[in-house]
Chain A
């Protein structure tokens, strides 16, 4: 594989192949909590992507100088610094969103997606690939939040409101609030995961008919996870 395909692979794997929420199943706690509105998903997605990209870059850049024994404390210091930067900036420039996301922004520090990418990827890969990995993982995370937010907000409140404008309305109907509460998060997430599994199983079945030999090969995995 040449360099561009590698970089593209590192970016695109975050969407389906190794989607942090759907496949690796890390960082679920905060994503279930904030995915009750599309708008929350956008800002949480941006915040997580920012932290992921920058902590990946920094850790990949200094990876050769990090002694093995103290790598975790160093990762945490780097991650916590970027989270605090996001936290303070959001408080200063987007106070309304900050009020809604509240405690979940500082809690990005302990979001396993970021530590997992630092330990599993950035610590062993080049700066550019780590940047692509962070970007892809962040984008994959954001996509899932947006889909979940869309379903939950639409079913739970009967409308989609973004930046103080109503985009979609289902008209006057008594929306079941369960969808924007925690049970709705589990229901939506479970259904989405089932759909993805079904899609992948079908794809595999089609492949097996077309090219029986290739489908049996284990999925290619390049980096150490």
Chain B
């Protein structure tokens, strides 16, 4: 009996050990690449959010500003500064889960563009609130602009919650903007 338990335990142990070594190797190989991809996709969205910025190399990540803005507006994730203006990334709840947007604000404090970094909105419905047709509605808005869904911003049919989430994130970015100046 004891011998059998030992045998079973040992077999499981060996299988687990081999699996762990294999996984460790895969993890080491892909770790760098994954971090790089995450950074790239975020930088790409940030570039899209601010017209005039052409490549991610023009972005400067400013951790001190982000920390300062976070104190007032906790939803702020990162702050990038460029010669054309500021890009603020905001994470709030969308319809399907966390939604991270990059909001580009030009030197005059007006929204220059909005781009999605990651979202879990329903494809075909909520995802329409992240297409240019809807995101372009925020261009030119500033901290004083009224941004109320239904009144100032027409929500997309079938995607009211996603439309509201996007609007709220833009509003939040505009609230945080004075902290980054």
Contacts and interface: CB of A to CB of B under 8 A. Distances in A.
Interface of B: 7-8, 11-12, 15-16, 19, 22-23, 26-27, 30, 33-34, 37-38, 40-41, 118, 120, 122-125, 158
A92 B123 contact: no
Contact of B22 (A81, A93, A95, A177): A81
B23 A84 contact: yes
Given A67-B11, A70-B11, A91-B37, A77 B30 contact: no
Contacts of A78: 15, 19
A33 to B, nearest CB: 11
Interface residues of A, number: 29
B8 A67 contact: yes
Main secondary structure on B side of the interface with A: helix
Interface of A: 36-37, 65-67, 69-70, 73-74, 77-78, 80-81, 84-85, 88-89, 91-93, 95, 99-100, 102, 156-157, 177, 180-181
Contacts, number: 63
Contact of B30 (A73, A91, A156): A91
Contact of A177 (B16, B38, B118, B158): B158
A100 B116 CA distance: 14
A84 B125 contact: no
Given A69-B8, A77-B12, A156-B124, 18 more contacts: A36-B124, A65-B11, A66-B11, A67-B8, A70-B8, A77-B15, A78-B15, A78-B19, A81-B19, A85-B26, A88-B26, A91-B34, A92-B37, A93-B33, A100-B123, A102-B120, A180-B124, A181-B122
Q: Which 5 residue pairs of A and B lie closest in terms of their CB atoms, listed nearest first?
A: A92-B33, A92-B30, A81-B19, A177-B124, A95-B37
Contact of A85 (B23, B118, B120, B124): B23
Nearest to B11: A67
